Structure 1
Amino acid sequence: MTVQLANKTALVTGSSRGIGRAIATRLARAGAVTAVHSGTDAGGVAETVRVIEEAGGRAFPVLAELGVPGDVDVLFDGLEAGLKEHADRVGLDILVNNAAVLGTVAPEEVTPGQFDRLMAVNAKAPLFIVQRALPLMPDGGRIVNISTGLTRFANPPEVAHAMSKAALEMITLHFARHLGARGITVNTVAPGVVDTGDLARAEPWLRAALSGLSAFGRLGEPEDISEVVAFLAAPEARWITGAWIDATGGTMLGQDL
């Protein structure tokens, strides 16, 4: 299926690199005017916009740190200003909540401050981003929340991160029901181990071990996730809502845990 998003607009949070960049470039390639967001990585945002524009797409940068007071106001001020300049209307057809922070600390060492930061960025910000986006979103809009396979299988150093992503998944569940009458779909995509660049420097034994977690025997690529998101953003996905989409490449599938 060829995804067609001409005359659509999109916001992808956390899209200066990795999975977010792949999603932003994929939506733009399908025709969406795409807002490329980061908290502080202005260089990464500029690079994503450059890649999109060189491929013939349309995009603009939005910088807004999430998890701090006033974050959603700053984000939408930048979004609306960018839409006025780069699109033919101030409306948002597609919202992808991708921005997140990791925990990676032993369960007994998680601090209240670390936990609060994870919840603020990974759960609280998306909730109020969705709330703020709804007046701009026409009927038939699309919301995609990027979660993690860690809400289904255990990796103890990421317990707090997984808790925050589980909260994000509740946004999917409850808003899908709430927005059904408007034809707005809300879905979760859950990646597994994805090589966003950091793993390129990993020891060969670690790459091999992580690759072995997938049924396909390889690491995920950002584009593997972006294709799933692009489908959910397309008109053809109109009958899918409230879903948790396993995009882990069959991680731990059929293995003894």
Structure 2
Amino acid sequence: MSDSWSVRVRWLPWRRLARLGIAGDRWPRMVEGPLSVLARTLWFVLLPPLLLACLLELLVLWALLPFVLVGRALGLGSWWVDLRNHGCRAGTFRVAGARSARSLRRALAAHLRRGGAPGDDGAARLVAAEGAEFASVEISARDWELVLRRLSPHARRRWFLWRRRLSIADSLDVLPGGLGDDPVSAIIAIPFVLLFVLCLGGAVLELVVQAAILPVVVLLRLVRALAWPIEVVHRGTVETRQQVHGFLPSVRARRQLAEGLRLNRRRPEQLRQLAPLR
């Protein structure tokens, strides 16, 4: 299956509103030194309330989940299967039972893996075979901008003396993004959450050390005793492209390198209504 499409059974009664991805997708990039640090510091102040909101919403959802499952088993509620493109919801299927939901998810995943399109006749036959109903969802321009930002490489000047081994953004990447909201996924996520806490602590410690020696490093670069590394960052990998002496030449070099790095993928068109919800 193409890495751009995913199909997931939704166990919880509603789609979560508080998600760590909201913070991760908007994490300020380190491109202009002190200004980026200030933006990240302000963003970090908002992280604890978001973590608390995530925890509270999950507790409420998990408290309601047994009643939701009993109601669905008694035929009082439907099961939902979400179709996503790069994490953006592009459509929702509604089916009567858990078996139909799992069967539809497997069939659609296999269909996409074979190169089929999510809205073609093959997908329509799968929907009809499971008695599912489909509601298309338009991906908003704002959500697609976040996708392009996440996929596109970007250029930066490295202000710190060495490239950090740990970062807060990398700590967020430790959290599993491909898990569902079923009970098994929640159990699997526990060790990842503990690892996230450890990585976050290490990232903060390394950042404190780097910040302590930063004034000396900047002074040496301003007098051209040290060069400014110009780097390209893409999906967690960092490549040094240039070593430029001088403050203003380094600014120009970064901006020139940044031109043309951004991807220009078209936003997916809204899928046709395979079987509109009534």
TM-score category (smaller protein): under 0.3
Q: What TM-score does the superposition give when structure 2 sets the normalisation length?
A: 0.20
Q: What TM-score does the superposition give when structure 1 sets the normalisation length?
A: 0.22
> Relative contact order (C-alpha < 8 Å, sep 6+): which is higher?
2
